[in-house]
Amino acid sequence: MELEQATERAEALRQLINKYNYQYYVLDEPSKTDHEYDLLMRELIDIETEFPELITPNSPTQRVGVSPVSALKEVKHLLPMLSLANAFNEDEMQAFYKRIKEKLSLDSIVFSGETKFDGLAVNILYENGFLITAATRGDGSVGEDVTHNIRTIQQLPLKLIGDNIPQLIEVRGEVVMTHKGFAKLNDRQRQKGEKIFANPRNAAAGSLRQLDSRVTAQRPLSFFTYGIGDYKGDMDLTSHTEILRQLQQWGLPVSSETKRLDGIEACQHFYAEIGAIRSELAHDIDGVVFKVNDIAQQRKLGFVSRAPRWAIAYKFPPLEEITQLLDIEIQVGRTGALTPVARLSPVNVAGVTVTNATLHNIDEIKRKDIKIGDWVYVRRAGDVIPEVVAVIKEKRANVSEFVMPDICPVCGSDVVRQEGEAVFRCIGGLSCSAQNIQAIIHFASRKAMNIDGLGDKLIIQLNESGLISTVADLYSLSTEQLADLDRMGSKSAENLIVALDKSKETTLERFIYALGIREVGEATARTLAKKYKSLELIEEATTDELETISDIGPIVALNIHSFFQQKHNLEIIERLLLVGIHWGHEKDETELRLNGMSFVLTGSLQKMTREEAKQRLLSLGAKVTGSVSKKTNYVIYGENAGSKYEKAVELGVTTLNEESFIKMIEK
């Protein structure tokens, strides 16, 4: 592609992607499938990779920074971000209404009513339509610079769309996290043994204050605008609802629960409506905000102290109830993580009967000083499993301490907790029924046993139908059993049986990797295979012996040793060997002709896939990396090689086409 053609196509792609983002995130009316959107994004990435001079700061590909910032700097808001006065009951709302009626000398007032998100307030500055800076509320006058993290939120346009965009405008809004996103985030944190967030607000705040935007980009943050600060330019808007409508037209997301309300009775009715659906909303809210809709009336009312007279937050009562914690049980997750769960005396929380609540991990239990038999506050929010908020120690009597088990309650394997982790884990990965689906999916994957045609959905179907419960059961399947499954048929069944039979011939390193030993990836599996050359010697290796191997530290050494100490795991391995899984001998250093040499693969090969080429190189002792440097020995290139080939030529690295590469490896 020529530069001129690439320039036109890149700009067209940016406009299309921004358009589809607006339809998806702001209008909630997607016109493209996720797959179609991903293809457009991939095409733009490819163009910008080939022509880096075409990259613009506001390209959809540039939302995530390449390196962390050193600290969060201070940013002064052009117009202060004020607090809101609160009302906690109908009398206080009536008093607020009476005050502003008297001040304006009116019988009735029109309001804008909108949900009060329980998140983190931010101020975003757009200049000539481009996102320039973003800062937290801070003390109202000065906040923290979180521009690098705000840019990662897909809902937010990096460039405003439409007409009549002011030269300068401060957009105010709230960064929040959905209940489902929060649950998934904590699940990932728990699996990694990292900090568990107490609630979506804390998770959103912690995510937005990260120094590394690559971390923030992995967090499910959302943004909703609720108003503006200072601006320069011609904005002929006379009401708050008009401002919100205009912000939405410029591409900014606005809460769908926003309404124009005439008089105090309409406000009370709206408050009741939102309260009734509060637990069904995707995000946490803690009240409803009412603002005098007319901008001229707002100016006349003015401010008192650090709050506007023309707005109020009518707060909801907390979604918490009191009940007794009857017992603590253990749930084993698909990755082996053990999670303590409180069994509660049934209690109605926000219209739902709650009988259990997550306790996250033993550290949370100790931090909150929770004991079996305690009376506790329980909170529920949307689809997130309820949690124990705090203990009522004044009511404590006849309680007992909870102790994490050292044996898995599902399979009887050992439970371990690595240093620095909050999570306890079952290490009976191959035999634990709580982990079996994940273990089988990993075992069948391309880089493991490479069982073609055995996808995640089929594995789940096989498990749910009772045909498989461990990886060894795969090799007992028959064509008839498979053909009876939904969407299979005889031909697909036959193909899978052939693929299973083919997978029996493998390599030691692939087999080790397929076992799913915690933190043993492809490189570590390869190292073990080269060092020991037999599965029996690996099984017998002590932690001290394993630690002497390069790239294997004490934690990984303990994982490997502990895995092979579990009799259930050894029984599954024995079954796998009995059905015929085998491999050839591992080559000595003298047989590894390319030992220590570094290769990079780029472009499309014709006679083999890139993965096949990589495996051939690895089998000869070579290292295969993803980037070209002066230490690279060879760059193997195919069609559409791109920037890696150009970098090799620039550095003087030897390049080989596919034909020359095949001659090299077949000597």
Return the active site residues: 116
Nearest one of 229, 233, 253 to 137, comparing CA atoms: 229
Any idea what DSSP says for residue 72?
A: -
Euclidean distance between CA atoms 532 and 252, whole angstroms: 59
Q: Are 333 and 193 in contact (CB under 8 A)?
A: no
H or E stretch at 179: helix 179-191
Do 215 and 231 meet the contact criterion of CB atoms below 8 Å apart?
Answer: no
Q: Which two tokens stand for residue 28?
A: 């909630």
Inter-residue contact 235 to 168 (CB < 8 Å) = no
Region label for 369, one of left (φ > 0), alpha (ψ between -120 and 50) or beta (otherwise): left
C-alpha count within 13 angstroms, C-beta hemisphere, residue 304: 9
Question: Cα separation of 62 and 131, whole Å?
Answer: 12
Q: Which has the closest alpha carbon to 1: 74, 63, 50, 58?
A: 50
Residues 6+ apart with CB under 8 A from 324: 344, 345, 373, 374, 375, 376
Identify whether the C-beta of residue 632 lies closer than 8 Å to the C-beta of residue 625. yes
- 415-416 vs 424-426, strand pairing mode: antiparallel
Length in residues, the chain: 667
With beta carbons less than 8 A apart as the criterion, state whether 417 and 424 touch: yes
Nearest to residue 336, comparing CAs of 511, 559, 182, 539?
559
By C-alpha distance, which of 440, 116, 43, 444 is closest to 274? 116
Q: How far apart are CA 366 and CA 428, in angstroms?
A: 27
Q: What is the dihedral of CA 564, 565, 569, 572, to 10 degrees?
A: 80
The DSSP call for residue 23 is I
**C-alpha distances out from residue 168 to 124, 147, 155, 172, 175, Å:** 11, 16, 20, 13, 21
Instruction: Show the tokens assigned to 397.
Output: 């009597």
CA distance 342 to 167: 55
CB 577 within 8 A of CB 570: no
